Structures are given as structure tokens and as C-alpha cells.
Chain A
Amino acid sequence: SQQGEEDPQALSIQEGENATMNCSYKTSINNLQWYRQNSGRGLVHLILIRSNEREKHSGRLRVTLDTSKKSSSLLITASRAADTASYFCATDYGNNRLAFGKGNQVVVIP
């Protein structure tokens, strides 16, 4: 199936450090989105990057997209304990139906 795949799947960092997650996909997309999920609750949309964009920022978040490599990365700078969550990338192939990866578990140690 055409799904995003995140790498690494589990990350443990100290508060204040940066966290980087990567995501790859298989075919052409219209956009790629990152979501956060806390403890099995609903997903919260973080950032959407269109296929013609290469980098996007939102607060402490930075997302890059490399369509030639079919990959994206999410960087969280100056992490906080509240950033502890699972992070998912999701690809939209043009019909607003998302294909999610397996997710990255990020633990920020105070």
C-alpha cells in the first residue's frame, strides 16, 4: 500500500534538544502532512507541505520535503516535555484521503 513510513520509530531525548523524524513514501503526492497524537487520543494537525514546497516552518517545527527522494523530515527544535507524543506523517494523493505511516514515539525527558 502507498503509505508513509517514519524512521526512527522511537526517540528519547532530553528537554531542550532537537528531535528529527523522517518519512518516506512511494508515489507522487499532492501534499504531505504531519500529525501528533497524545496517548491514543485524536490526532492534531501540525503542518502541511505541498508538493511544490521544499521547506515550511511553524513555531518550533520545521518540515522539509524532497520529492525526488520521496521523503520528508520533521524537526522539533528546543523540545519540551509537552512534546512527548506519537508523530505521524500522512500523504495525500489528491483526494483528501490520507495514508498514514506507523508513527514515531517521541519521549522528551525533563
Chain B
Amino acid sequence: DAGVTQSPTHLIKTRGQQVTLRCSPISGHKSVSWYQQVLGQGPQFIFQYYEKEERGRGNFPDRFSARQFPNYSSELNVNALLLGDSALYLCASSLARPSSYNSPLHFGNGTRLTVT
């Protein structure tokens, strides 16, 4: 079975532009989460979606938005890009509902975003 897939793998954007990142979860997984990993740091939680509804949001500005589609794939959008948005953006899927803990996350290989 295919794992979590993310596209594109690399992206270079200019300050002020907008970017859309895509994620396809493991088949059967209804929960998708997004994380930002700045170089040298651990991932930081951005969003959590389950059954197409936002179930959680991390401490990120409103420039960040996301959605989940009926097939459970997801998009992360970032508007008005800043240099500090340069990072590896990771998508993870899970079999469990957000309220049902003790379930590991399955991560994709991420999208490397560089803002110049």
C-alpha cells in the first residue's frame, strides 16, 4: 500500500507570493495533520483535519489555511509568504479520530519550501 504522498517535493517562492501544498493520506485514513519543520528544529503542529472538518489549529497566523476533501486528501495554503516560512512542511495521516489517542502518525516525506 502507498504511504502518505505529498507534492511537490520542492518549491521556491518569492516573498509575498502564495503557495499550495498537497497531501494524500494512506488509504482508509480519515485524519490528516500538517506540521512545519524549520531547519534544526522539531516539527510544529499547524492543522488537524478529520472527516473534512478542522479539529485543531496550532499557533500559526491566519496566512495559513487548509482544507480536506471528500477523498480525505488535503491542501495547505500559505498566503503572503515571508522568509521565515521557509521550512519542510510535513503531512501526516492517522487511522484514529482526534479524540481517540494512542494512535501513531504516518508522515509523508514533506515539501521543502524555500522563500527568497
A interface residues (Cβ-Cβ under 8 A, vs B)? 1, 3-4, 30-31, 33, 35, 40-45, 48, 50, 88, 90, 92, 94-103
A67 CA to B96 CA in the complex, in Å? 24
Interface SS of chain B: helix, strand, loop or mixed?
Answer: loop
- Scoring B residues 75 to 116 as 1 if CB is less than 8 Å from chain A, else 0, what string do you get? 000000000000010101010111111111111111010000
Q: How many residues of B contact A (CB 8 A)?
A: 35
| Chain B residue, CB-CB nearest to A92 | B101
A1 CA to B45 CA in the complex, in Å? 12
Check if B104 sits within 8 Å of A94, measured CB to CB.
no
A90 CA to B48 CA in the complex, in Å? 16
User: Given that A97-B33, A98-B45 are known contacts, is A41 also in contact with B109, CB under 8 Å in the complex?
Assistant: yes
Check if B31 sits within 8 Å of A96, measured CB to CB.
yes
Check if A42 sits within 8 Å of B42, measured CB to CB.
no
Q: A35 contacts which chain B residues (CB < 8 A)?
A: 107
Check if A42 sits within 8 Å of B4, measured CB to CB.
yes
Q: B92 contacts which chain A residues (CB < 8 A)?
A: 43
| Chain A residue, CB-CB nearest to B57 | A97
User: Given that A95-B56, A96-B48, A96-B94 are known contacts, is A43 also in contact with B107, CB under 8 Å in the complex?
Assistant: yes
User: Given that A31-B102, A96-B96 are known contacts, is A101 also in contact with B42, CB under 8 Å in the complex?
Assistant: yes
| Chain B residue, CB-CB nearest to A3 | B42
